Amino acid sequence: MSEINKVVLAYSGGLDTSVIVKWLQDVYQCEVVTFTADIGQGEEVEPARAKAKAAGVKQIYIDDLREEFVRDFVFPMFRANAVYEGEYLLGTSIARPLIAKRLVEIARETGADAISHGATGKGNDQVRFELGAYALMPNVKVIAPWREWDLLSREKLLDYAERNGIAVEYKKKQGQAPYSMDANLLHISYEGGILEDPNFEPEESMWRITVSPEKAPDAPEYVELEYERGDIKAIDGKPMSAAEVLAELNRRGGAHGIGRLDLVENRYVGMKSRGCYETPGGTIMLKAHRAIESITLDREVLALKDDLMPRYARLIYNGYWFSPERLLLQKLIDESQATVNGRVRLKLYKGTVMTVGRSSETDSLFDPAISTFEDDKGAYDQADAAGFIRLNALRLRIAANLKKTGR
C-alpha cells in the first residue's frame, strides 16, 4: 500500500466509522484525524468526541456547519427550483459537497496525506464525496474501506468491533429501525432493509419529523415568506438566518404532514434504489419560490430556468457541485434572482401547501390594467391577436395545404 501517515475520516461515531478508525490504524499504520459535521441531523454530535478519544484519536474536529449548509448549499439549490427525477428535493445529495469541502480543509490544516469516508461501493455518496474532494484537492488520496475490506455485513462489523474492544451502541433489539437513515436540516432519508421491497408500504412509525396528514390539524395554518434576491429573509415579518428559516419551516410543515415522499430513483452507479424522504421545509420553500418567481421573472427567463433545472439537479445528485458546469449554471441562476423580491403567503393543510398570495412592491411584472377581464381602457388592443395568431399558424397552414394537394 502507498505511504499514508495521516488520514482525515468523516466520522459519525456509529458502527461503521468506529470500525473504520481501528481498521485504518491497523491496515495503514497511520494517524487518524476525525471530523464530525453538525448539519442539523437532530442528534447530539459531542458524544463522537469521547468515542474518538477512546479510539486513540488525538486530533478531533466537531464543526457546526448548519448555517453554512443552508446559506451556501441549500439556498443556492432552491434558487434553481432543483428537483431530481420530478420528485426528490436532493436532501442527502446537497450535504455531501459541504462535508467533502471540510474534509479537504482539515487535511490541509493537519498536513494529512489522505481522506476517508464510510460510504459503500454501491451508493451515490462515494461518488459525491470523492468528486468533491478531487475538485478541491486534485492529488488527494482517498481511502474507501468498503471497497477494500471484507467486512461486508453488519454481523462482520459487529464481530470486528467485539474482537477489537470497540464500544458500539448497535444492538439488534425489538423496535430498532429495520432500515438505514440519514438526516440533516433539509431532510431525513430512509433506505435499505424492509424498504428494499418497493411494494412495501412503510409503517407510520417510520416517519420522524412529520405527522400523518390524516392526523394533522383540522384548521389550516398561514405563513408569509419574505424574499430578497431569491432567498427567504423573514417569516411572518420576523428576520431570520438561513438555518433558522429552514428549521422553522420544518417545524411548521412537519406539524401539517407536509413533505413525505416514497420514491424509486436511479442511482448514478446504475441501479435503481427505493427511498423514503421527509422534507417539510424544503417542500414549502419550493412552492413559495416558484410563486414569487411567477410574478417577478420574465416568461422566457422562467422557461430557460425550467429547461436547465433537470440538468442542474442531476449534477447535484451525481456529485458535481464543484464542477465548472454547475458553477456556470449557478451564475446564470443567481443573476436571474436579482428581481426575485417580495412576499408569498401560503396555506398549510393536511399534507398540502397552497399558494394564496404573492406580491412584490418593486419587481412585479403582473399588470392588472392589462390582465383584467374588465374594460382595460385601451391598455391592450385585442385586434392585435388576429395577426399574432395567423403568423404563428403559418407553418401549420402550409403543411395542411400540402396534405390537401396530395403532395
Give the model confidence (pLDDT) of 340-353 as tens digits: 999 999 999 999 99
Q: What is the pLDDT of residue 404?
A: 84
Q: What is the pLDDT of residue 180?
A: 87
More confident residue, 180 or 5: 5
Catalytic residue among 49, 63, 72, 180: 180
Mean pLDDT calculated for residue range 47-73: 96
The C-alpha cell that represents 304 in the structure block: 430557460
**All residues at 6 or more sequence positions from 59 whose CB lies less than 8 Å from its CB, including other chains:** 31, 33, 34, 110
Q: Tell me, what's the pLDDT at 179? A: 81
Domain ranges of the chain: 6-65+92-163, 180-297+340-359, 372-404
Q: What is the spatial distance between Cα 111 and Cα 361, in angstroms, rounded to a whole number? A: 52
> Is 72 assigned a catalytic role?
no
pTM value is: 0.94
260 is catalytic: no
Show the cell assigned to 392.
404563428
CA 276 to CA 159: how far, in whole Å?
Answer: 30
pLDDT at 204 over 50: yes
Please determine, for residue 173, whether its predicted confidence score (pLDDT) is greater than 80.
no
Mean of the per-residue pLDDT values of the chain? 94
The mean per-residue pLDDT over the stretch 89-109 comes to 98
Decide if domain 180-297+340-359 falls under CATH 3.30.70.2740: no
In the numeric block, which cell numbers belong to residue 221?
Answer: 395554518
Q: Is the pLDDT of residue 224 over 80?
A: yes
Catalytic residue of the set 12, 16, 18, 38:
16
Q: In whole angstroms, what is the distance from residue 249 CA to residue 187 CA? A: 12
Does residue 125 carry a catalytic annotation?
yes
pLDDT band at 9 (very low <50, low <70, confident <90, very high): very high
Determine the pLDDT at residue 176. Answer: 55
Alpha-carbon distance of 116 to 168, in angstroms, equals 20
- Give pLDDT, residue 174: 42
Q: Which residue in 288, 303, 287 sits closest to 336, CA to CA?
A: 303
Could you say which of 3.40.50.620, 3.40.50.11540, 3.10.129.10, 1.20.58.760 is the CATH number of the domain covering 6-65+92-163? Answer: 3.40.50.620
**Which one of 38, 66, 79, 96 is the catalytic residue?**
96
Write down the catalytic residue from 125, 189, 252, 360: 125
The distance of Cα 48 from the centroid of its chain, to the nearest Å, equals 24
**Cβ contact 143:5 at 8 Å:** no
16 is annotated as an active-site residue: yes
